[in-house]
Amino acid sequence: MAFKPGHAGALMVGMTGGSTVDDPLDLGVRQAVYDGFTNDGRAPTIGDICRRVGAGEVAVRAALRRLAGSHALVLQPESGEVLMANPFSAVPTAFAVSSHERSWWGNCIWDGLGILAMVGTDGSVMTGCPDCGEGLRLEVQAGQVTGGPCLAHFAVPAREWWQNIVFA
């Protein structure tokens, strides 16, 4: 399978419904979220985002809600902190992604591979077979995915993902 690292733009565009693509604060908040994931290996807190964009908490929370409303990211229901900024997960999942000294969590196998593409690096995605629990590892080296044999199964059709994106 061919794999093109470093094409982050394709993963960060395409907001729908109430797009905030032209709002400078929303763009800055979105960039701060992705910078946190890619550079620090974790989701930035709302306080981190405030410092990075030089805005107050009320404005940042409003921007996060607009971004969530446009499916650019997913927020924690109680706190409003970032839960997901596809392909990244802020919480541990069954898809551990690593590259050299950095690591992340992906939301699914597709997102795990997407993380490596987004950061433009070789690495691996570790998961387990949902049927038998056997450990599975896919490697990305020089743009090629190896490992397996594996089969990725998406139980929810893509057109229905946003009905419950955390489950999908």
Q: Where are the alpha helices (DSSP H) in the chain?
A: 8-11, 24-35, 46-53, 57-69, 109-119
Strand 95-99 to strand 144-146: parallel, antiparallel, or no bridges (unpaired)?
Answer: unpaired
Average pLDDT over residues 7-27: 55
- Confidence band of 165 (pLDDT split at 50, 70, 90): low
Q: Does domain 19-85 have CATH number 1.10.10.10?
A: yes
Q: For residue 4, is pLDDT > 50?
A: no
| Domain segments of the chain as ranges | 19-85, 95-163
CA–CA dist 150, 129 (Å, integer)? 9
Structure tokens at 8: 């982050």
Digit-coded pLDDT (tens) for 78-130: 999 999 999 999 999 999 999 988 999 999 999 999 999 999 999 999 999 88
Q: For residue 61, is pLDDT > 50?
A: yes
Q: Where are the alpha helices (DSSP H) in 36-108?
A: 46-53, 57-69
Strand order in the sheet with 123-128: 74-75, 82-85, 88-89, 102-106, 95-99, 123-128, 135-141, 144-146
Structure tokens at 77: 């229901």
User: For residues 90 and 42, is the Cβ–Cβ distance under 8 A?
Assistant: yes
